[in-house]
Homo-oligomer: A and B are copies of this chain.
Amino acid sequence: MKFSPLVDELIQSLKVLPGVGPKSAQRMAFQLLERQRSGGLKLGKALEAAMTDVGHCQSCRTFTEEQRCSICANPRRAEAGQLCVVESPADVLAIESSGHYSGQYFVLMGHLSPLDGIGPDDLGLDVLDERLASGDIKELILATNPTVEGEATAHYIADMAKAQRLTVSRIAHGVPVGGELEYVDGTTLALSFSGRQQV
């Protein structure tokens, strides 16, 4: 015995969500059915619209339902000739929130990972190379994550950009402002020391 077909289908379908197993799928389905019908319906429509209509920005690869995202479509973002390479759309949001960068982005949607079969073309590095060759970019800022894969990806892209004689920079890594030294991990501390500047 199972639940009714529509309830079963809902529980099975919820398991597509990351971190959602059979028990939480069931709990989610019941909560929506009991208390959140309109919210559940709204989610259903949002999913259908997003899965069908959201693609990638032709210029920076981030998610958007337009041909170009709002940042790439803004001519003022191109003025400085800066292009910042990040791993995910969430990184763009974080950098925009900091309010100190007004250039353009290139979103890799991942990082180089030979073991998972993710190579340069999967990250759109062929597209990036064309953009670097266009002459519009003056400085390439590498803001991939300070992980082994992120660093390897940054090195790979730095070599590409240097071959085009572009200025390449890497964002600084170190102790976060307000962070206490004793709670900062060793890798961050090491980066913090190797990146020290004279005062």
Residues of A within 8 A of B (CB): 1-7, 9-10, 12-14, 16-19, 24, 26-34, 36-54, 63-66, 69-71, 88-90, 92-93, 96-97, 109
B65 & A30 in contact (Cβ 8 Å cutoff): no
Which B residues are CB-close (under 8 A) to A90?
Answer: 26, 30
CA distance A129 to B5 in the complex (A): 29
CA distance A33 to B51 in the complex (A): 6
22 A-B contact pairs sorted by A residue (CB < 8 Å): A4-B54, A4-B66, A5-B65, A6-B50, A6-B53, A13-B39, A13-B43, A13-B47, A16-B36, A17-B43, A26-B90, A30-B88, A30-B89, A30-B90, A32-B47, A32-B50, A34-B109, A37-B51, A40-B50, A44-B48, A44-B51, A45-B48
Tell me the number of copies of this protein: 2
A145 to chain B, nearest CB (A): 15
Which B residues are CB-close (under 8 A) to A38?
Answer: 51
A191 to chain B, nearest CB (A): 24
- If A4-B66, A65-B4, A70-B4 touch, whether A52 touches B41 (CB-CB below 8 Å) is yes
